[in-house]
């Protein structure tokens, strides 16, 4: 067992332990590789805010496969050393301003990728193999700048032409926010199957949830198929409104006005500092 594996075993025992938000954030060490979901898929904004308050540093972000508000905040707050993503933007609110500034100045290392390549890399870790093949991106500008990807001839010698091999990516942590979890550590993800891939691929998965119920979600036919078993969940915290100002399925809609305010303020360093100040000063949400 390596020192890193021993740290995981000691600090993050299985099954999931229910914690408060600061405890959950403190499980993520500086320099960790985090898998972060896209804005339409259960983003843990409260956990992101807590990482910023904790002054997390040198984080490496893997966007699965796109980054948005959470990623831009972490970059602007100085928490990020490296990011791999297919894209980072605020959607209808335009470019992600802090990401753009960091990319242009070289403050953060940017690793360009594509949606299918990121999913393929996680699926390789999910299956316990060192790489997986992928078609369709040979000859692209991204492929030309990825020395870690390998193009090989059809290994089956069936005349299918070359194929590209994508190395596995195993995040140290996957993080997301769910509408519902249970006291046993099972977490509902619904149709957001990328969260399942993230959890399968990552060494540990940390989840915040709007509500933790007493009913076992895996015992209920209505929820079982959309539930991530506690086997894959290393830490869980109940956090009301934990995805705001982003939306959360069945709970609340995306606050477009709030994100517009962010896009305007974050376009300058002074404006971003003003936006960040109340996040740094705020107390974490109290445990229910």
Residue 156: the pLDDT is: 87
Taken in order 154, 160, 162, 166, is the CA torsion positive or negative?
negative
pTM confidence score:
0.92
Any idea where the domains of the chain sit in the sequence?
12-130+169-281, 134-167
Q: What is the pLDDT at residue 206?
A: 97
The length of the chain in residues reads: 288
The mean pLDDT of 242-251, rounded to a whole number, is 97
Question: What is the rounded distance in angstroms from the CA atom of residue 50 to the CA atom of residue 197?
Answer: 25
The whole-angstrom separation of Cα 70 and Cα 157 is 45
Note the CATH architecture for domain 12-130+169-281.
Answer: 3-Layer(aba) Sandwich (3.40)
* Percentage of the chain modeled with pLDDT above 90: 87
DSSP state of 205: E
Which residue matches tokens 């194929």? Answer: 163
pLDDT band at 9; cut points 50, 70, 90: low
Sheet containing 181-182: give its strands across.
212-213, 181-182, 187-188, 227-228
Q: Is 171 helix (H, G, I), strand (E, B) or coil?
A: coil
- Classify the phi-psi angles of 203: left when phi > 0, otherwise alpha if psi is within -120 to 50, otherwise beta: alpha
Q: Is residue 45 very low, low, confident or very high in pLDDT (cuts 50, 70, 90)?
A: very high
At 248-269, the pLDDT tens digits run 999 999 999 999 999 999 999 9
**pLDDT of residue 287 exceeding 80:** no
At residue 111, the 3 state secondary structure works out as strand
Percent of the chain with pLDDT over 70: 93
Instruction: Provide the pLDDT confidence category of residue 283 given band limits of 50, 70 and 90.
Output: confident
What average pLDDT is seen over the chain? 93
Q: Could you tell me which residue, 110 or 13, shows the higher pLDDT?
A: 110
Residue 215 has pLDDT above 70, yes or no: yes
Q: What is the mean pLDDT of residues 66-71?
A: 98
Residue 102 pLDDT grade (very low, low, confident, very high; cuts 50, 70, 90): very high
What number is the average pLDDT over the span 169-194? 97
For the stretch 148-171, pLDDT in tens is: 999 999 888 888 889 999 999 999
Residue 155 is predicted with a pLDDT of: 87
Report phi then psi at 105, rounded to 5. Answer: -90, -10
Residue 250 has φ and ψ, to the nearest 5°, of: 75, 0
Decide if 102 contacts 108 (C-beta within 8 A): yes
């Amino acid at each position: 067992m390596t020192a890193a594996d021993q740290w995981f075993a000691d600090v993050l025992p299985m099954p999931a332990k229910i914690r408060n938000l600061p405890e959950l954030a403190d499980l993520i060490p500086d320099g960790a590789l985090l898998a972060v979901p896209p804005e339409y898929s259960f983003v843990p904004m409260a956990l992101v805010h807590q990482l910023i308050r904790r002054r997390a540093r040198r984080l490496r972000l893997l966007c699965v496969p796109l980054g948005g508000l959470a990623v831009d905040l972490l970059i602007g707050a100085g928490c990020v050393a490296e990011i791999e993503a297919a894209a980072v933007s605020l959607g209808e609110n335009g470019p992600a301003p802090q990401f753009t500034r960091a990319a242009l100045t070289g403050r953060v290392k940017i690793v360009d990728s594509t949606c299918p390549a990121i999913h393929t890399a996680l699926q390789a870790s999910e299956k316990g193999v060192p790489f997986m093949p992928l078609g369709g991106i040979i000859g692209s500008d991204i492929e030309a700048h990825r020395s870690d990807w390998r193009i090989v001839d059809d290994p089956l010698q069936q005349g299918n032409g070359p194929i590209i091999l994508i190395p596995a990516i195993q995040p140290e942590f996957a993080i997301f926010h769910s509408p519902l979890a249970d006291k046993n550590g099972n977490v509902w993800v619904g149709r957001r199957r990328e969260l399942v891939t993230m959890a399968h691929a990552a060494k540990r998965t940390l989840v915040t949830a709007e509500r933790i119920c007493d009913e076992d979600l895996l015992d209920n036919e209505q929820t079982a198929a959309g539930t991530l078993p506690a086997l894959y969940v290393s830490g869980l915290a109940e956090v009301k409104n934990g995805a705001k100002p982003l939306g959360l399925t069945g709970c609340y809609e995306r606050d477009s006005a709030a994100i517009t305010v962010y896009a305007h303020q974050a376009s300058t360093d002074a404006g971003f500092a003003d936006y960040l100040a109340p996040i740094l000063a705020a107390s974490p949400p109290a445990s229910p």
